[in-house]
Amino acid sequence: MCGITGFSNFNKDITSEFNNIVMMNDSLYHRGPDEYDYYKHKNVVFGHRRLSIVDPDGGKQPMQRVVNFHKYTIVYNGEIYNTNEIRDDLIDKGYRFSTYSDTEVVLINYIHYKENCVSRLNGIFAFCIFDEDEKCLFIARDQLGVKPIFYSLKGGYLIFGSEMKSLLKHPKVSTDVYREGILDLLSLGPSRSPGEGIFRDIKEVPPAHYLCVYEDKVILKEYWNLESKEHNLTLEDTKEKLSVMLEKVIKNQMVSDRGIFSFLSGGIDSSLISAIVSKELREKGEILDTFTVDYVDYDKDFKGNEFEVTSDKYFVKLANESIKSNNRIITIKNEDLFYALERGLYASDIPSMADIDISLYLFCNVIKNYGTVGLSGECADEIFGGYPWYLNDEDLKLNNFPWNRFSNIRKELFNDKIKSLDFDSHVENRINETLKSVQFLDSDSEFDKKIRKMTTLNVKWFMVTLLNRKDRMSMANSLEIRVPFADRELVEFSYNIPAKFKFLNGREKGILREASRKFLPYSIIDRKKSPYPKTQSNIYRDLIMKELSRILDNKSNPIFEIIDEKSVRRLIESKGDSYTKPWFGQLMRGPQLMAYLIQINMWLKKYNINLYI
- Evaluated on CA atoms 121, 126, 130, 134, the torsion sign reads positive
Helical packing angle, 463-475 and 341-348, nearest 10°? 110
**Bond preceding residue 194 cis, omega within 30 of 0:** no
610-611 and 326-332 beta bridge pairing: unpaired
Spell out a b/e string for 191-200, using b for 16 or more CB atoms within 10 Å of the CB, else e: bbbbebbbbb
| Beta strand extents in 348-426 (DSSP E only) | 373-375
> What is the C-alpha to C-alpha distance for residues 338 and 541, in angstroms, rounded to an integer?
9
Strands annotated E in 360-494: 373-375, 480-482
281, 288 in Cβ contact below 8 A? yes
C-alpha distances out from residue 84 to 80, 453, 487, 527, Å: 9, 35, 16, 38
Is the separation of the CB atoms in 583 and 189 below 8 Å? no
Partners of residue 310 on adjacent β-strands:
none
Closest to 483 (Cα-Cα) out of 312, 327, 270, 294:
270
* CB count in 10 Å sphere of residue 11: 12
Helices (H) and strands (E) in the chain, counts: 24, 19
The upper half-sphere exposure of residue 449, i.e. CA atoms within 13 Å in the direction of its Cβ, equals 10
Asked if omega into 62 is within 30° of 0 (cis), the reply is yes
469 touches 357 (CB < 8 A): yes
- Say whether the peptide bond before residue 190 is cis (omega within 30 degrees of 0): yes
**Amino acid (1-letter code) at residue 295:** Y
289-295, strands of its sheet edge to edge: 326-332, 289-295, 261-263, 373-375, 480-482
Q: How far is CA 557 from the centre of its chain?
A: 31
Which residues lie closer than 8 Å to 408 by C-beta, 6 or more apart?
Answer: 423, 424
Instruction: List residues bridging with 65 in a β-sheet.
Output: 72
Q: What angle do CA 205, 206, 207 make, to 5 degrees?
A: 120
Pick from 407, 64, 451: nearest CA to 226: 451
Handedness of CA 191, 196, 202, 203 (dihedral sign): positive
| Distance (Å) of CA 425 to CA 525, 560, 606 | 41, 25, 31
Beta-bridge partners for 220: 211
Rounded Cα distance between 329 and 363, Å, is 10
CB atoms within 10 A of CB 479: 22
Would you name the residues annotated as active-site residues? 2
